[in-house]
Chains A and B, each alone.
Chain A
Amino acid sequence: MQAKKRYLILFSTGACLILLFCLGGIQVPLSRRGPGRPHDRRLSGYGPGARWRHLSGYLQPFSSWEQDRSDDLTEHISPRQKRDANSGLYTGKRCRMESCFDFSLCERNGFKVYVYPQQKGEKLSESYQNILSSIEGSRFYTSDPGQACLFVLSLDTLDRDQLSPQYVHNLKAKIQNLPLWNGGKNHIIFNLYSGTWPDYTEDLGFDIGLAMLAKASISTENFRPDFDVSIPLFSKDHPRTGGEKGYLKYNTIPPYRKYMLVFKGKRYLTGIGSDTRNALYHIHNSEDVVLLTTCKHGKDWQKHKDARCDKDNAEYDKYDYREMLYNSTFCLVPRGRRLGSFRFLEALQAACVPVMLSNGWELPFSEIIDWNRAAVIGDERLLLQIPSTVRSIHQDKILSLRQQTQLLWEAYFNSVEKIVLTTLEIIQDRVLLHTSRSNLMWNSLPGGLFTLPQYSTSLRDFPFYYAKLGIKPPSKFTAIIHVVTPLVSQSQPVMKLLVAVAKSQYCAQVIVLWNCEKPLPAKHRWPATSVPVTVIEGESKVISSRFLPYNTIPTDAVFSLDEDTVLSTTEVDFAFTVWQSFPDRIVGYPARSHFWDSNKERWGYTSKWTNDYSMVLTGAAIYHKYYHYLYTTYFPASLKIMVDQMSNCEDILMNFLVSLVTKLPPIKVTQKKQYKETMMGQSSRASRWADPDHFAQRQTCMNKFANWFGTMPLIHSQMRLDPVLFKDQVSILRKKYREIERL
Chain B
Amino acid sequence: MYTSGKYSSRGPALIPRMKTKHRIYYITLFSVVLLGLIATGMFQFWPHSIESTADWTLDKRSVHDAPLIRLPVSSPIPERGDLSCRMHTCFDVYRCGYNPKNRIKVYIYPLQRFVDELGVPISSTGLSREYNDLLSAISDSDFYTDDVTRACLFIPSIDVLNQNSLRIRETAQALAMLPRWDKGMNHLLFNMLPGGPPDYNTALDVPRDRALLAGGGFSTWTYRQGYDVSIPVYSPLSADVDLPERQPGPRRYFILSSQTAIHREYRAELERLKEENGEALLLLDKCSNLSQGAASARKRCYKGQVYDYPQILQARWFWEAYFSSMKAIGLTTLQIINDRIYPYAARTYEQWNNPPVVKWSSVNSPLFLPLIPPRAPGFTAVVLTYDRVESLFRVITEISKVPSLAKLLVVWNNQNKSPPEETLWPKISVPLKVVRTKENKLSNRFFPYDEIETEAVLAIDDDIIMLTSDELQFGYEVWREFPDRLVGYPGRLHLWDHEMGKWKYESEWTNEVSMVLTGAAFYHKYFNYLYTYKMPGDIKNWVDAHMNCEDIAMNFLVANITGKAPIKVTPRKKFKCPECTAIDGLSLDQTHMVERSECINKFASVFGTMPLKVVEHRADPVLYKDDFPEKLKSFPNIGSL
Asked if A26 and B617 sit within 8 Å, CB to CB, the answer is no
Counting chain B CB atoms within 10 Å of each CB, the highest count among A439, A611, A664, A723 belongs to A611
User: Which chain A residues border B613 with CB–CB below 8 Å?
Assistant: 581
Give A670 Cβ to nearest chain B Cβ, in Å: 9
Docked CA distance A613–B528 (Å)? 32
0/1 interface trace, chain B 55-98, chain A, CB 8 Å (1 if under): 10111111110111110000000000000101011000110011
0/1 interface trace, chain B 476-497, chain A, CB 8 Å (1 if under): 0110010100000001000000
- B595-638 residues with Cβ-Cβ distance < 8 A to A are 613, 615-626, 628, 632-635
Asked whether any CB of chain B lies closer than 8 Å to the CB of A553, the reply is no
User: Which chain B residues border A94 with CB–CB below 8 Å?
Assistant: 221
Docked CA distance A52–B145 (Å)? 9
Of the candidate stretches A186-194, A488-496, A532-540, A729-737, the one touching chain B is A729-737
Known: A470-B363, A665-B481. A46 touches B66 (CB 8 A): yes
Asked if A23 and B54 sit within 8 Å, CB to CB, the answer is yes
Residue in A closest to B88 when the chains form the complex, CB atoms: A359
Give A567 Cβ to nearest chain B Cβ, in Å: 17
Known: A60-B128, A62-B192, A377-B344. A50 touches B263 (CB 8 A): no
Docked CA distance A12–B27 (Å)? 11
Of the candidate stretches B312-320, B498-506, B509-517, B576-584, the one touching chain A is B509-517
Asked if B139 and A372 sit within 8 Å, CB to CB, the answer is no
Asked if A721 and B617 sit within 8 Å, CB to CB, the answer is yes
Asked whether any CB of chain B lies closer than 8 Å to the CB of A688, the reply is no
Asked if A76 and B369 sit within 8 Å, CB to CB, the answer is no
0/1 interface trace, chain A 666-685, chain B, CB 8 Å (1 if under): 00110101000000000000
Give A342 Cβ to nearest chain B Cβ, in Å: 22
Docked CA distance A77–B564 (Å)? 60
0/1 interface trace, chain B 435-457, chain A, CB 8 Å (1 if under): 00000000000001000010100
User: Which chain A residues border B266 with CB–CB below 8 Å?
Assistant: 79
Q: In the complex, which of the residues A55, A68, A80, A395 contacts B111, with contact meaning CB atoms closer than 8 Å?
A: A55
Asked if B139 and A52 sit within 8 Å, CB to CB, the answer is yes
User: Which chain A residues border B89 with CB–CB below 8 Å?
Assistant: 221, 360
Asked if B369 and A248 sit within 8 Å, CB to CB, the answer is yes
Asked if A611 and B633 sit within 8 Å, CB to CB, the answer is yes
User: Which chain B residues border A251 with CB–CB below 8 Å?
Assistant: 367, 369, 371, 373, 455, 483, 524, 526
Asked if B511 and A15 sit within 8 Å, CB to CB, the answer is no
Asked whether any CB of chain A lies closer than 8 Å to the CB of B343, the reply is yes
Asked whether any CB of chain A lies closer than 8 Å to the CB of B220, the reply is yes
User: Which chain B residues border A80 with CB–CB below 8 Å?
Assistant: 265
Asked if B39 and A18 sit within 8 Å, CB to CB, the answer is yes
Q: In the complex, which of the residues A15, A42, A220, A400 contacts B86, with contact meaning CB atoms closer than 8 Å?
A: A220
Counting chain B CB atoms within 10 Å of each CB, the highest count among A39, A46, A715, A734 belongs to A46
Known: A45-B55, A724-B512. A577 touches B616 (CB 8 A): yes
Docked CA distance A469–B358 (Å)? 6
Known: A80-B265, A609-B626, A723-B511. A715 touches B372 (CB 8 A): yes
Give A681 Cβ to nearest chain B Cβ, in Å: 17
Known: A79-B265, A248-B371, A721-B617. A372 touches B343 (CB 8 A): yes
User: Which chain B residues border A46 with CB–CB below 8 Å?
Assistant: 55, 58, 66-67, 110-112
Give B621 Cβ to nearest chain A Cβ, in Å: 6
Asked if A591 and B513 sit within 8 Å, CB to CB, the answer is no
- A385-438 residues with Cβ-Cβ distance < 8 A to B are 385, 388-389, 392-393, 395-396, 399-400, 403, 406-407
Q: In the complex, which of the residues B130, B264, B292 contacts A73, with contact meaning CB atoms closer than 8 Å?
A: B264
Asked whether any CB of chain B lies closer than 8 Å to the CB of A381, the reply is yes
Asked whether any CB of chain A lies closer than 8 Å to the CB of B416, the reply is no
User: Which chain A residues border B460 with CB–CB below 8 Å?
Assistant: none
Asked if B343 and A468 sit within 8 Å, CB to CB, the answer is no
User: Which chain A residues border B26 with CB–CB below 8 Å?
Assistant: 8
Asked whether any CB of chain A lies closer than 8 Å to the CB of B209, the reply is no
Known: A39-B69, A47-B110. A735 touches B620 (CB 8 A): no
User: Which chain A residues border B112 with CB–CB below 8 Å?
Assistant: 43, 46
Asked if A470 and B360 sit within 8 Å, CB to CB, the answer is yes
Asked whether any CB of chain B lies closer than 8 Å to the CB of A651, the reply is no
Q: In the complex, which of the residues B39, B48, B97, B221 contacts A19, with contact meaning CB atoms closer than 8 Å?
A: B39
Asked if B261 and A50 sit within 8 Å, CB to CB, the answer is no
User: Which chain B residues border A66 with CB–CB below 8 Å?
Assistant: 292
Asked if A673 and B192 sit within 8 Å, CB to CB, the answer is no
Give A105 Cβ to nearest chain B Cβ, in Å: 21
Asked if B144 and A220 sit within 8 Å, CB to CB, the answer is no
Asked if A719 and B478 sit within 8 Å, CB to CB, the answer is yes
Known: A63-B192, A253-B528. A719 touches B622 (CB 8 A): yes
0/1 interface trace, chain B 22-63, chain A, CB 8 Å (1 if under): 000010010011011101101100001111101101111111
Of the candidate stretches B154-162, B300-308, B328-336, B387-395, the one touching chain A is B154-162
Asked whether any CB of chain A lies closer than 8 Å to the CB of B244, the reply is no
Residue in B closest to A351 when the chains form the complex, CB atoms: B369
Asked whether any CB of chain B lies closer than 8 Å to the CB of A165, the reply is no
0/1 interface trace, chain B 247-270, chain A, CB 8 Å (1 if under): 000000000000011011110000
Known: A251-B455, A673-B626. A381 touches B94 (CB 8 A): yes
Asked if A39 and B70 sit within 8 Å, CB to CB, the answer is yes
Counting chain B CB atoms within 10 Å of each CB, the highest count among A220, A440, A663 belongs to A220
Asked whether any CB of chain A lies closer than 8 Å to the CB of B278, the reply is no
Give B550 Cβ to nearest chain A Cβ, in Å: 19
Asked if A735 and B88 sit within 8 Å, CB to CB, the answer is no
Docked CA distance A50–B62 (Å)? 16
Asked whether any CB of chain A lies closer than 8 Å to the CB of B237, the reply is yes
Asked whether any CB of chain A lies closer than 8 Å to the CB of B472, the reply is no
User: Which chain A residues border B624 with CB–CB below 8 Å?
Assistant: 671, 720, 722
Of the candidate stretches B8-16, B398-406, B407-415, B565-573, the one touching chain A is B565-573
Q: In the complex, which of the residues A359, A470, A610 contacts B358, with contact meaning CB atoms closer than 8 Å?
A: A470
Residue in A closest to B155 when the chains form the complex, CB atoms: A52
User: Which chain B residues border A253 with CB–CB below 8 Å?
Assistant: 448, 455, 524-526, 528-529
Residue in A closest to B89 when the chains form the complex, CB atoms: A360
Asked if B40 and A22 sit within 8 Å, CB to CB, the answer is yes
Docked CA distance A254–B97 (Å)? 29
Asked if B110 and A249 sit within 8 Å, CB to CB, the answer is no
Asked whether any CB of chain A lies closer than 8 Å to the CB of B286, the reply is yes
Residue in B closest to A371 when the chains form the complex, CB atoms: B343
Asked if A720 and B620 sit within 8 Å, CB to CB, the answer is yes
Docked CA distance A385–B98 (Å)? 7
User: Which chain A residues border B466 with CB–CB below 8 Å?
Assistant: none
Docked CA distance A522–B135 (Å)? 77
Known: A591-B622, A609-B623, A673-B626. A53 touches B58 (CB 8 A): yes
User: Which chain B residues border A581 with CB–CB below 8 Å?
Assistant: 564-565, 613, 615, 617
Asked whether any CB of chain A lies closer than 8 Å to the CB of B563, the reply is yes
Give A509 Cβ to nearest chain B Cβ, in Å: 23
Residue in B closest to A43 when the chains form the complex, CB atoms: B67
Asked whether any CB of chain A lies closer than 8 Å to the CB of B420, the reply is no
0/1 interface trace, chain A 697-729, chain B, CB 8 Å (1 if under): 000000000000000000101111111111110
Residue in A closest to B42 when the chains form the complex, CB atoms: A22
Asked if B193 and A63 sit within 8 Å, CB to CB, the answer is yes
Asked if B62 and A55 sit within 8 Å, CB to CB, the answer is yes
Give A52 Cβ to nearest chain B Cβ, in Å: 4
Q: In the complex, which of the residues B86, B100, B108 contacts A392, with contact meaning CB atoms closer than 8 Å?
A: B100
Q: In the complex, which of the residues A38, A69, A385, A737 contacts B286, with contact meaning CB atoms closer than 8 Å?
A: A69
Docked CA distance A221–B86 (Å)? 8
Residue in B closest to A399 when the chains form the complex, CB atoms: B366
Asked if A62 and B161 sit within 8 Å, CB to CB, the answer is yes
Q: In the complex, which of the residues A52, A78, A254, A730 contacts B146, with contact meaning CB atoms closer than 8 Å?
A: A52
| Shortest Cβ-Cβ A-B pairs, 10 listed | A470-B361, A57-B62, A15-B36, A42-B67, A62-B128, A359-B88, A54-B136, A470-B362, A65-B297, A61-B236
29 contacts between A and B (CB under 8 A): A11-B33, A19-B39, A22-B36, A38-B70, A43-B112, A44-B54, A49-B147, A51-B51, A54-B139, A59-B126, A60-B126, A68-B260, A249-B371, A360-B86, A377-B343, A399-B367, A407-B369, A439-B349, A444-B368, A577-B616, A671-B626, A718-B481, A721-B619, A722-B617, A724-B616, A727-B625, A728-B571, A736-B616, A737-B616
